[in-house]
Amino acid sequence: MTLQEIADKLVDGCRTNTAVGNLETLYAADAVSVEAMDNGMGREAQGIPAIRGKHEWWESTFEMLDGSISDPMMHPDDRFAVIFELKAKNKETGEVTDMKEVALYTVAGGKIVREEFFYPL
């Protein structure tokens, strides 16, 4: 797949809640996911099983109430960024939070090898 195809498929998966299903297709087996801060699981997750675990944690912890996901912003030849703006409710506490983050994805060999998330601390 081309960089644009990977970016489009990732965004579509996020918009249709099928992102976890895209992990095997879009991500390298040893891909790294990096958060701006430790959310209790560490800042870095390496490999598809660890990244899948991050998705499972998110889905078990938060209920999505509203949100938008930008089209991918390309940075040829190997990167793209996506802006996520979300309103989510913590399932345990009921607290509703507005969230905004920028995700930067690096692609090599036709797969995402690194994702980095930037948000206000």
Task: With beta carbons less than 8 A apart as the criterion, state whether 88 and 64 touch.
Answer: yes
> pLDDT tens for residues 60-87?
999 999 999 999 999 999 999 999 999 9
Q: What is the pLDDT of residue 52?
A: 95
Q: What is the pLDDT of residue 35?
A: 94
Domain ranges of the chain: 3-118
Q: What is the pLDDT of residue 91?
A: 97
Strand duo 79-90 + 73-75: pairing: antiparallel
Q: What is the pLDDT of residue 40?
A: 79
8 prior amide bond cis, ω within 30: no
Q: What is the pLDDT of residue 41?
A: 79
For residue 42, is pLDDT > 90? no
Q: What is the pLDDT of residue 61?
A: 94
**What CATH number should be reported for the domain whose range is 3-118?**
3.10.450.50
